Amino acid sequence: MNKIGIYPGSFDPLTYGHVDVIRRATHLFDSVIVAIATNEAKKALFSKEERAELVRASTEEMDRVSVDIFDGLLVDYAAEQTAKAIIRGLRAISDYEFEFQMALMNRHLNHEIETIFMMPKDKYTFLSSGMVKEVASLGGDISSFVPEPVLHAMNQRFPATNFKSDS
Ligand code: PNS
């Protein structure tokens, strides 16, 4: 049986923390779909298509990882894809409340889909897309936080920052 995991999120933009979770998820699932959605609570820097392209470019060497965009309810999308589980990264206690609420709401909406939490490497626990955007917009160096395709796209968005990839 092909065990599919869905890793949903805004990915605005993808960080090394996300990449770490994707890699860990490939050890548990036969295939992992990175599913890009709109989070109504957040203002996006990149369009969903741009974010998808950046995830694709940053994960192209990973077998069994695909990238998709979805609208509507996550559980409906997960059921359509016949996914076994929703994967979410958990960095710190501060993530827990929102993640707990979301997991239980999703279980209420579809009790057949489990949510599993994966912890990124500890060196990424302070990292967030929001912080990466803020640092880049103020001219700070984000090269150790994002993959090369994302760094390139961020340099174009914020021309004052022209940092080189450290990978
Ligand atoms: O990376 P994010 O912003 O924390 O991801 C949140 C996301 C996109 C996974 C969440 O907002 C979501 O699932 N949106 C789809 C709509 C939905 O199903 N909402 C109900 C879940 S509580």
On whether residue 134 sits in a domain, the answer given is no
Amino acid occupying residue 106: N
Task: Give yes or no: 58 in active site.
Answer: no
Task: Give yes or no: 91 in active site.
Answer: yes
Q: Which candidate in 51, 58, 129, 133 is catalytic?
A: 129
Strand, coil or helix: 18: helix
Binning pLDDT at 50, 70 and 90, where does residue 159 land?
A: confident
* Percentage of residues in the chain having pLDDT higher than 90: 88
The model's pLDDT over 9-62, given as tens digits with 9 standing for 90+, comes to: 999 999 999 999 999 999 999 999 999 998 888 889 999 999 999 999 999 999
Pairwise CA distance, residues 137 & 159, whole Å? 9
Q: Which domain holds residue 81?
A: 4-124
- Ligand 1 atom 2: the closest Cα is on which residue? 9
Q: What is the average per-residue pLDDT within 116-123? A: 95
On whether residue 80 sits in a domain, the answer given is yes
On whether residue 130 sits in a domain, the answer given is no
On whether residue 98 sits in a domain, the answer given is yes
Q: Which of 96, 102, 128, 133 gets mutated to test ligand 1 (max ligand atoms within 8 A of its CB)?
A: 102
Q: Is the pLDDT of residue 96 over 80?
A: yes
| pLDDT confidence of residue 92 | 85
On whether residue 74 sits in a domain, the answer given is yes
User: pTM of the full predicted structure?
Assistant: 0.94
Strand, coil or helix: 49: helix
**Residue 120: cis peptide before it, omega within 30 degrees of 0:** no
